[in-house]
Amino acid sequence: MDLRQLTPNLAVSPQIELSDVALLARSGFKTLVNNRPDEEDGAIDHEVMAKAAADAGMEYHYLPFRPGQITPDLIQGFSAALEGPKPAIAFCRSGNRSTVLWALGQAGKMSEAEVLNTAAEAGYDLSGVVPLMRSLAGASR
């Protein structure tokens, strides 16, 4: 597992294995957010992942983020999932899409520089979503 801490209550990761779910729960994670669409190569079916999360006592959210298909509902759903039991772990193929959703949810709440620096420290370059972050920040004022 390659966990990358974005905030004290959120880590992101590339694809996790089913066996990782129980380990994450034992490590203190309370919420699991799956941003990986089932149809992607290497993805684990979301229903199988949901059962593993339930068996481990974790809250589970399936919010498939297909590349290039960011929607307001997806951003709001991700933010809402993070309001659940903490801390949370979110994953996709590389962790980037989960980080993008976190960043877009922070638009207007955190400074653009702080969001970009946090993502960069975790190994993710979010420069491509800066225009959308700015638009969302303007809409939240």
Alpha-carbon distance of 104 to 15, in angstroms, equals 21
Q: What is the pLDDT of residue 76?
A: 96
pTM above threshold 0.85:
yes
Q: What is the mean pLDDT of residues 18-38?
A: 97
Q: Which structure tokens are listed for 44?
A: 């684990």
pLDDT category of residue 4 using cuts at 50, 70 and 90: very high
CA dist., res. 4 & res. 93, Å (int) = 14
How confident is the model at residue 17, as a pLDDT? 96
With b for 16 or more beta-carbon neighbours within 10 A and e for fewer, the 107-131 pattern comes to beebebeebbebbeebebebeebee
What backbone phi and psi angles, to 5 degrees, belong to 110? -120, 160
Average pLDDT of the segment spanning 63-90: 96
pLDDT at 68: 87
Given this model, what pLDDT does residue 31 score?
98
Percent of the chain clearing pLDDT 90 (strictly above): 94
Residue 106: how many other CB atoms lie within 10 Å: 21
